[in-house]
Amino acid sequence: NAGVTQTPKFRVLKTGQSMTLLCAQDMNHEYMYWYRQDPGMGLRLIHYSVGEGTTAKGEVPDGYNVSRLKKQNFLLGLESAAPSQTSVYFCASSPYRQEYPEAFFGQGTRLTVV
């Protein structure tokens, strides 16, 4: 199993450009998440989805949009990139259970906005 796969792994954007990060999981998980990882800040939740066609805001949603048109894919969009969005982005997924909702992570996308 591939697990959780993120595309691309690296990207450099100019301020004002737009891009979409793709997250794909093959574990049939209901929940999917986008986090950003910054030094000293840990992992902060951007947006999440509890199922196909549903999305919700996390802790730091401003400047990002998401879509979950298919259960296996969760897209993160930056409409107008800013240097403050330079970060490592992690996608994760987890199954719906009452217990043991472990999160499975992708390998990360390193984004630099210049």
Partner 1 sequence: AQRVTQPEKLLSVFKGAPVELKCNYSYSGSPELFWYVQYSRQRLQLLLRHISRESIKGFTADLNKGETSFHLKKPFAQEEDSAMYYCALSSASGGSYIPTFGRGTSLIVHP
- For partner 1, the binding residues (CB under 8 A) are 4, 31, 33, 35, 40-45, 48, 50, 58, 90, 92, 94, 96-97, 99-103, 105-108
Closest CA to 92 of 28, 13, 15, 34: 34
Task: Work out the number of other CB atoms within 10 angstroms of the CB of residue 22.
Answer: 15
Nearer to partner 1, 19 or 104 (CB): 104
Q: How far is the CB of 5 from partner 1 (least distance, A)?
A: 10
Locate the DSSP E strands across the chain.
Answer: 4-7, 10-13, 19-25, 31-38, 42-51, 54-57, 64-67, 73-78, 87-94, 104-105, 109-113
Nearer to partner 1, 9 or 70 (CB): 9
Q: How far is the CB of 103 from partner 1 (least distance, A)?
A: 5
**Is 86 within 8 Å of 111 (Cβ atoms)?**
yes
Nearer to partner 1, 28 or 40 (CB): 40
Nearer to partner 1, 7 or 18 (CB): 7
Q: How far is the CB of 107 from partner 1 (least distance, A)?
A: 5
Q: How far is the CB of 16 from partner 1 (least distance, A)?
A: 30
